[in-house]
Amino acid sequence: MASWIEKPCIDLLKKLNDIPLDDKRESRQLTILMNGLAEINKEMMRRAAESVRMQIGGEASSPEPVTKPKATTEPAAESKKVMNDVPDLDDFDSFDEELDMIEQTLIRSISD
């Protein structure tokens, strides 16, 4: 397993094991588990996006003349800055709801 996944999983396991035995233990564990998995998912998506940006940037920068070394370093700095702005996963839930509403509207308009 990749080290960037293993460390958060170990931390997550420690947090889950540190919860005292009581009536709300399972709900607390579930909350911690969901938050931990969301963080791992965000990191996975960030890494995937960074990889794609590097691939796209590599293809786009190859036809440019070599006389512009500054242009090749700036996109990397900009992509790192953009990658630090990770979107909140809760925003995607509302986006899915909007897509469902659009889909239902289209289905109704087709059936009419």
Would the pLDDT of 71 be above 50? no
Our count of domains for the chain comes to 1
Full domain range(s) for residue 36: 3-111
Kindly give the residue spans of alpha helices, DSSP state H, lying in 25-88: 25-61, 69-84
Per the prediction, the chain carries an average pLDDT of 75
Would the pLDDT of 84 be above 90? no
The lowest-confidence range among 7-11, 32-36, 55-59 is 55-59
Would the pLDDT of 41 be above 80? yes
pTM for the structure as a whole: 0.47
Over range 70-85, report the average pLDDT: 54
Cα dihedral 41, 43, 45, 46, rounded to 10, equals 160
